[in-house]
Amino acid sequence: MLDIKKIRNNPKEVEELLKRRNSELSLDKVLELDQARREKLVEVENMKAEQNRVSKQVPLLKKEGKDVTAILQEMKELAEKVKVLDVEVKEIDEKIQEELLNIPNTPNPDITVGASDEDNKEIRRWGEPRKFDFELKAHWDLGVDLDILDFERATKITGTRFSMFKGAGARLERAIIAYMLDKHTLEHGFTEISPPFMVNRDSMVGTGQLPKFEEDMFKLNQRDYYLIPTAEVPVTNIYRDEVLDEKDLPMYMTAYTPCFRAEAGSAGRDTRGLIRNHQFDKVEMVMYAKPEDSYAQLEKLTNFAEEILKGLGLPYRVVELCTGDIGFSSAKTYDLEVWMPSYNRYVEISSCSNFEDFQARRSNIKFRPKEKGRLEYIHTLNGSGLAVGRTFAAILENYQNEDGSITIPEMLKPYMRGIEKITL
């Protein structure tokens, strides 16, 4: 959520930044409502001041034995007027809130202005894509042939866009999760969290998934709960409506969770394999930072995710998303893209973003700076570290052998309990 004061004071500047996202968004309506609200507020607050003043007099006058019936009658009428105005202010407040919740974050002024992912800027590459001297197979064929992935039965059990891991495949998935969590907790300083996989509406609003992206979410029938689309939601919301100590910042939290996405509007895209499913596993990193420190933390966050790919020996590149491609809540995002041989291109495997105070404002997370004493919103960041299904797919494809077997990457071997190669 943007600061209404910032919009009020620099409407042109904010509007210009928002235009860079290719949104035809006008701030006129919210500015108009804000103006109307403040006028009504002054009016009703003057009446309330009058009420308070008179109410204080009443017991004194009674004590003196004076007749107060005329005053009480007057006050009754005033109370009626106040009630009406209060409702009007509240209605305007709700409209303003609704407007604000639907306005995306302003992009960082320094990132490339562009219309789509074609304008994204490659920052760096690591690793050399492997040259195959045999006919390579896609992970959905490799996995099925090795009997470690079963898409058909997952579809039978549930429906399309679900997958199932089996035997050494299930173990490999578990190994990937354990490796990532160990790296983040033991080497990168993160605290491991195992959060709820369902969240309430306030949490979804807090991180920006709602109210705008309802159709992307799975919602429960009998309660106002949602299946989490990413651990970002429960973890960022841990300290919703709380005040933190400055000495606790920056705060690093990591969580493994399944993620549930309706994938509305992506019919026909990436329909084979593990790339785009309704349920997938992910290890997420969430950071709370001080405002002046958040961009330095974004670089760290991105590096932490890169460390995982380096550790697994998977070639990747880092891309800075342009203004037209960053997410609703983000001010700046780096995507990590892993080399996927079957696609013959790099495929997104992590997204690392600085949300500045956009989410903190929605979820009301503040800290008390030692010097100033006045409460300030924290900055929130998060990044995948990494998407597990896609990592699994990348390992299968990049580590495949001519006979269809998969060599286990060195760093995962301790987690595989003696399995060095997956064969039939």
Partner RNA sequence: GGAAGCGUAUCGAAGAGGUCAUAACGAGCCGCACUCGAAAUGCGGUUGCCUUUCGGGGCACGUGGGUUCGAAUCCCACCGCUUCCGCCA
Q: Does 72 bind RNA (CB under 7 A)?
A: yes
Q: Does 84 bind RNA (CB under 7 A)?
A: no
DSSP assignment of 154-206, as one string?
HHHHT-TT---B-THHHHHHHHHHHHHHHIIIIIS-PEEE---SEEEHHHHHH
Give me the catalytic one of 330, 351, 363, 384: 351
Q: Which helix (H) or strand (E) holds 62?
A: helix 28-63
Q: At what angle do helices 69-101 and 28-63 cross, to 10 degrees?
A: 160
* 261 tagged catalytic: yes
Q: Does 194 bind RNA (CB under 7 A)?
A: no
Q: What x-and-dash track marks residues 357-396 binding RNA by CB under 7 A?
A: -----------x----xxx---------------------
How many CA atoms are closer than 13 Å to the CA of 359, on its beta-carbon side? 33
Site for RNA in 48-67 (CB under 7 A): 48-49, 51-56, 58-59, 62-63
Distance CA 236, CA 290 (A): 15
The residues with which 350 forms a beta bridge, in sequence order, are 336
Distance CA 281, CA 398 (A): 20
CB of 227 to RNA, least distance (A): 18
> 3 or 270, CB closer to RNA?
3
> 38 or 421, CB closer to RNA?
38
CB of 360 to RNA, least distance (A): 12
* 21 tagged catalytic: no
Give me the catalytic one of 43, 88, 348, 376: 348
> 12 or 372, CB closer to RNA?
372
CB of 47 to RNA, least distance (A): 8
> 80 or 299, CB closer to RNA?
80
Q: Which helix (H) or strand (E) holds 338?
A: strand 332-340
Q: Does 41 bind RNA (CB under 7 A)?
A: yes
> 10 or 55, CB closer to RNA?
55
* 351 tagged catalytic: yes
CB of 358 to RNA, least distance (A): 15
Q: In 3-state terms, what secondary structure has residue 145?
A: helix
Q: Does 264 bind RNA (CB under 7 A)?
A: no
Q: Does 101 bind RNA (CB under 7 A)?
A: no
Distance CA 395, CA 313 (A): 9
The residues with which 282 forms a beta bridge, in sequence order, are 257, 387
DSSP assignment of 250-295, as one string?
SEEEEEEEEEE---TT-TTSS-STTSS-SEEEEEEEEEEE-GGGHH
> 36 or 136, CB closer to RNA?
36
DSSP assignment of 359-394, as one string?
HHHHHTEEEE-TTT-S-EE-EEEEEEEEEHHHHHHH
Q: In 3-state terms, what secondary structure has residue 350?
A: strand
Q: Does 124 bind RNA (CB under 7 A)?
A: no
Residue 302 one-letter amino acid: T
Alpha-carbon distances, residue 46 vs 38, 58, 75, 90, 91 (angstroms): 12, 19, 14, 17, 19
Give me the catalytic one of 125, 240, 276, 317: 276
**Among residues 6, 28, 29, 38, the one that binds RNA under rule CB under 7 A:** 38
Give me the catalytic one of 161, 171, 261, 361: 261
**Among residues 2, 4, 235, 274, the one that binds RNA under rule CB under 7 A:** 4
Residues recognised as catalytic: 261, 276, 348, 351, 390
Residues that bind RNA (CB under 7 A): 4-5, 38, 41-42, 45-46, 48-49, 51-56, 58-59, 62-63, 72, 75-76, 79, 83, 90, 243, 368, 373-375
